[in-house]
Structure 1
Amino acid sequence: MENTMLQQRKQCRLVLFPLPFQGHINPMIQLANILHSKGFSISIVHTRFNSPDPFKHPHFTFHFISDGLTSDVRDKPLDPVLIIKQLNNNCAEPFRQCLNELLSDGKENNVKCIITDTNWYCAQEVADSLKLPRIVLRTSSICAFLAFAALPRIREKGYLSNPEPNIEEPIVELPHLKVKDIPTIDISKLEDLYQLVGDFVESSKKAFGLIFNTFKELEEHDLEKLSEQFLMPIFTIGPFHKHFSAGRSSLLTQDRSCISWLDTQAPKSVLYVSFGSVATMNQEKLYEMAWGLADSKQPFLWVVRPGLVHGLDQWLESLPNELLESINERGYVIKWAPQQEVLSHPAVGGFWTHNGWNSTLESVCEGVPMISSPFFGDQKVNARYVNDVWRIGIRLEKGFKREEIEKAIRRLMVDKEGEDMRQRIMCLKEKADLCLNVGGSSYRSLEGLVDFISSL
């Protein structure tokens, strides 16, 4: 019976359209692998900008479309809000033409539906014009998505209209969050951000369904609130990376030498430090980070990605010799890490993170408590939940100050407070493992998604 259903699904093609940023590509490719394992044929439509290597995914067919981005934007991305708006303006027609070609192709005219990132709000009009069902993948947490959806109400209440807002003020409309947790992007004009959020929230409400890379037990209360606001099927089928690793879709080369270094370290002794693929900082913050890490006297694995620091072309060579010696004595610095493997390593006892959702979920799934330094957008919401709701981490509330960094590291890695967090996150890890087993919440939700797609 199952083999017959798999054969029937092979006749059904799904077209997936990721947003071309690492944190969005990874979960979409993971979702593609999950659905392919259920028997569906998969086509990936992607921009030339940040395109993944098709040879790493031979079981998918790739179709690349023009994104219209100029070389200066491609080589040195500016404001992500403006880039996403440009991509939507530039890619609507190429996406439509690509789908038309797929629909007219004798081999691929069996397109069942399209699955796009929520940020591709232009895709809803394209799907409607071609009479194709559209399902959206939201690559953030549910709690962050609800915060974005609430931005119009937050705006009306004037939380951000004051030139000097009280950043510690609680937001009545979003329990647990403060004004400083509102998911804004500092380099954006607020009007542009409001418009972008409004566009992707409204287009999501017109979709046939919503997919989230999370699990019910982690965000149950927020899932209930989401179901009240979005009257459509919602599928929480994460954690995606427990099905398929994101390593093969990485746009950066992973340095696996760090695994050998971790093998020489004591269990739970190493702090892993990485701020993802997009965040940037100035040299002053880098120096404060370095001194805080050195002064903590704890071993650390530090990812300093090329482009992380404004104006730093020589990686870490600009640091004082005294500081470099201290780093080399106690730490290991690389340009990019195989993160899932690092977090699952027995030597890793903490994760200093920007709280992008992929990183946060991976940390939860490996039972590794966190230090939070959110930069923008949904990271702020995730960090607040890590700190105050799930109580599995420490947020650096005052930014990058070496004294606070040193204190936070010792609280997490040495003090009883860190051990209590480790116990709480281990409980969440167990729930993450169970939700994927037969009969678990994510297992049932995935089965529901497969049936739902098959019925379209």
Structure 2
Amino acid sequence: MEKHAVCIPFPAQGHIRPMLNLAQILHSRFDFHITFVNAQHIQNTLFQSQPPSTNSSTNTNTTFIFESIPEGVDDPENLLSVIDSILTHRRMELPLRELLSELCSKDDPLNPPRGPMHRLPRPPVTCMITDVVMTMFALDVADNMGIPAVVLETASACGSICYLHLRELFEKGIIPLPEANCLTNGYLETEIDLISSLRGLRLKDMPTQLRTTDPDDMMLNAAISCTLNAIKSKAILINTFDSLDQDVLEELKTIISPNICSIGPLHLLAKDIDPTSDDTNLAIGSIFSSKNEDNECIIKWLDLQEPSSVLYVSFGTIAVINQEQLVEFAWGLANSQHKFLWVVRSDLVRGGEASSINVPIEFEKEIKGRSLLVSWCDQERVLAHPSVGGFLTHCGWNSTIESISSGKPMICCPFIAEQVTNSWYICNVLGIGMKMSEDLKRGEVERVVKELMEGMKGKEMKKKAMELRNLAIEATMSPYGSSFVNLENLVNDVYNTAHTRKYVKFSTCMPETSK
């Protein structure tokens, strides 16, 4: 029996990237057929400038296929609208059922497959891998059709265990916040004693979805519901490694029944896959690297710098600041007198023009010749470069695990969701980061940059970060590494389960959902 995984990421880059890494690993290392199901607008965006071989209708490699399903919203780039569609209306459920029905059914002259599917023969589906957000409908589809399902949790282990306890905090009346001034009156300093592996954690260190007074808040309820759905799956996969999060992983295993599998860092597991081995791998490698020429210029600039002399600065793909914060932050970097590489997205400033960012002319003159501002870079390559000595980050988990894998200490500037939990964990448990105040004032920015790049604390954090880097490599770069073994065991388990289950053909009788 051939192995065939259907992968369903949430339509945001921070969720697609690890799912794509996992799919590529399963495809190249474990001989899986892959059907990668994007939301329609993501499919259009990712492949509008990509080689024709990436498209399911023209791809000659039938073992890794990209498909798409509609989001069911007017503005698919509005993530809140997409989440509402997934959480409340489940508008992506029917298209997914139809797609899976075709993938699971044998040739039937009375029921020919739609679209290009007749050109792409694939074995029956062995398992579904769904993003934790997509569990709102995907797990029901898998269960109804007899398909084993596992969940990819794109948050950190510490973020995951916090999400798991939101319902208990809700039931105890701790959240939602009793009143609006709880944001400023010290209420968020309340210590959480529910998580033994995260001693000293406060409400302010929990995911920001809890910072609401509305019990019907969509984001709070989405966080609770997605977690409760995830624990119904066969396994939960986390992009981490055993020695990084041992205490948290052990606690997770004692409080929920699904198998908890640490299978990261995924980008390291995928590192040695030859991108030129076939059309699909080549296309995958180019999906998030459409600006390769610009990136080569960045790498050449880094090549000219002294070892560990450059601070890499990036706030990820979603975080926004206002113009005043931009100016203060920029001058803080400049006043530190350290070299930096700063990714300044065109939409970084809230309410600003989408096509440009306005930094003071005096600032540009001050940093000329010693720093670089760019709109995009290949973050994995930049963090791995020996000239980079530290990372000022929003603490998204992809960025965090990439920084750890490269042995880079961090300045933590979290914005939303479990980024604040990651920041607390980086600083208080791992000891490889320092927290920067939220107002982004120039004096504070200058202080933390100097401390990281030249201070004693920065040197200590660098040493610890390098130790964790070595452990990350150990977990992924050999067949005996913990993450490789965990993934191999999961593959065998899912494969054996698939032998014992029967697929249920799609029916037009849908469960009742909100309209």
TM-score over 0.5 for the alignment? yes
Displacement after TM superposition at 1:328 (Å)? 2.7
State the secondary structure of the residue aligned to 2:130: strand
Match of 1:193 in 2: 219
Match of 1:364 in 2: 404
Q: Are residues 1:60 and 2:64 paired?
A: yes
Q: Map of 1:220-369 to 2, 5 A cutoff?
A: 220-244=246-270, 248-250=286-288, 253=291, 255-256=294-295, 257-313=297-353, 318-369=358-409
Match of 1:24 in 2: 15
- In structure 2, relative to structure 1, the CA distance for the partners of 1:113 and 1:317 (3 Å cut) is closer
Structure 1 range deviating more: 400-409 or 307-316 = 307-316
Distance (whole Å) between structure 1 residues aligned to residue 357 and residue 129 of structure 2: 44
8 A Cα contact 1:282 1:310, kept in partner: yes
Displacement after TM superposition at 1:178 (Å)? 1.8
Displacement after TM superposition at 1:125 (Å)? 1.2
**What is the alpha-carbon root mean square deviation over aligned residues?**
2.1
- In structure 2, relative to structure 1, the CA distance for the partners of 1:304 and 1:109 (3 Å cut) is same
| Residue identity in the other structure for 1:244 | A
Q: Map of 1:93-108 to 2, 5 A cutoff?
A: 93-106=94-107, 107-108=121-122
8 A Cα contact 1:176 1:385, kept in partner: no
Structure 1 range deviating more: 184-193 or 438-447 = 184-193
Structure 1 range deviating more: 285-294 or 295-304 = 285-294
- Deviations along 1:400-456, one digit per CA (max 9) or x if unpaired, are 111111000000001111000000111111111111223221122122112112112
Q: Map of 1:66-215 to 2, 5 A cutoff?
A: 66-70=70-74, 73-75=75-77, 77=78, 80-88=79-87, 89-106=90-107, 107-120=121-134, 121-155=136-170, 156-158=172-174, 160-165=177-182, 166=186, 167-174=188-195, 175-185=199-209, 191-215=217-241
Structure 1 range deviating more: 11-20 or 175-184 = 175-184
- In structure 2, relative to structure 1, the CA distance for the partners of 1:394 and 1:133 (3 Å cut) is same
Displacement after TM superposition at 1:398 (Å)? 3.9
- In structure 2, relative to structure 1, the CA distance for the partners of 1:403 and 1:304 (3 Å cut) is same
State the secondary structure of the residue aligned to 2:373: strand
- In structure 2, relative to structure 1, the CA distance for the partners of 1:399 and 1:181 (3 Å cut) is farther
8 A Cα contact 2:349 2:357, kept in partner: no
Match of 2:464 in 1: 424
8 A Cα contact 2:397 2:419, kept in partner: yes
Unaligned runs of at least 5 residues, structure 2? 55-60, 108-120, 272-283, 498-515
Structure 1 range deviating more: 403-412 or 196-205 = 196-205
Match of 1:5 in 2: none
Distance (whole Å) between structure 1 residues aligned to residue 413 and residue 209 of structure 2: 14
- In structure 2, relative to structure 1, the CA distance for the partners of 1:170 and 1:328 (3 Å cut) is farther
Q: Are residues 1:43 and 2:35 paired?
A: yes
Identity over aligned residues, as a percent? Answer: 35
8 A Cα contact 1:215 1:442, kept in partner: yes
Distance (whole Å) between structure 2 residues aligned to residue 209 and residue 30 of structure 1: 18
Displacement after TM superposition at 1:20 (Å)? 0.8
Q: Are residues 1:441 and 2:482 paired?
A: yes
Distance (whole Å) between structure 1 residues aligned to residue 189 and residue 241 of structure 2: 30
- Deviations along 1:357-388, one digit per CA (max 9) or x if unpaired, are 01000000110000011110111111100111
Displacement after TM superposition at 1:187 (Å)? 9.5
Match of 1:3 in 2: none
- In structure 2, relative to structure 1, the CA distance for the partners of 1:313 and 1:253 (3 Å cut) is farther
- Deviations along 1:327-372, one digit per CA (max 9) or x if unpaired, are 3343101111100000010100000000110100000011000001
| Residue identity in the other structure for 2:73 | L
Match of 2:275 in 1: none
Displacement after TM superposition at 1:397 (Å)? 3.2
State the secondary structure of the residue aligned to 1:272: strand
- In structure 2, relative to structure 1, the CA distance for the partners of 1:424 and 1:354 (3 Å cut) is same
Distance (whole Å) between structure 1 residues aligned to residue 141 and residue 404 of structure 2: 37
Match of 1:451 in 2: 492
The TM-score with structure 2 as length reference comes to 0.81
Q: Are residues 1:33 and 2:71 paired?
A: no
Distance (whole Å) between structure 1 residues aligned to residue 210 and residue 374 of structure 2: 28
Q: Which has the larger radius of gyration?
A: 2
Matched residue count: 442
Displacement after TM superposition at 1:319 (Å)? 2.5
Structure 1 range deviating more: 88-97 or 386-395 = 88-97
8 A Cα contact 1:184 1:193, kept in partner: no
State the secondary structure of the residue aligned to 2:181: coil
8 A Cα contact 2:210 2:220, kept in partner: no
- Deviations along 1:89-112, one digit per CA (max 9) or x if unpaired, are 221111111111212254335111
Match of 1:4 in 2: none
State the secondary structure of the residue aligned to 2:93: helix
- Deviations along 1:191-237, one digit per CA (max 9) or x if unpaired, are 21232122211211211111111000000000011111221222111
Distance (whole Å) between structure 2 residues aligned to residue 187 and residue 153 of structure 1: 15
The TM-score with structure 1 as length reference comes to 0.92
- In structure 2, relative to structure 1, the CA distance for the partners of 1:329 and 1:14 (3 Å cut) is same
| Residue identity in the other structure for 1:172 | D
8 A Cα contact 1:136 1:211, kept in partner: yes
| Residue identity in the other structure for 2:126 | K
Match of 2:500 in 1: none
| Residue identity in the other structure for 2:122 | E
- Deviations along 1:240-262, one digit per CA (max 9) or x if unpaired, are 00122585342864531211111
Structure 1 range deviating more: 157-166 or 138-147 = 157-166
- Deviations along 1:161-210, one digit per CA (max 9) or x if unpaired, are 24333233322224242222221249986621232122211211211111
Displacement after TM superposition at 1:238 (Å)? 0.5
Q: Map of 1:402-417 to 2, 5 A cutoff?
A: 402-417=442-457
Distance (whole Å) between structure 1 residues aligned to residue 12 and residue 309 of structure 2: 32
Distance (whole Å) between structure 1 residues aligned to residue 142 and residue 483 of structure 2: 27
8 A Cα contact 2:327 2:360, kept in partner: no
Unaligned runs of at least 5 residues, structure 1? 1-7
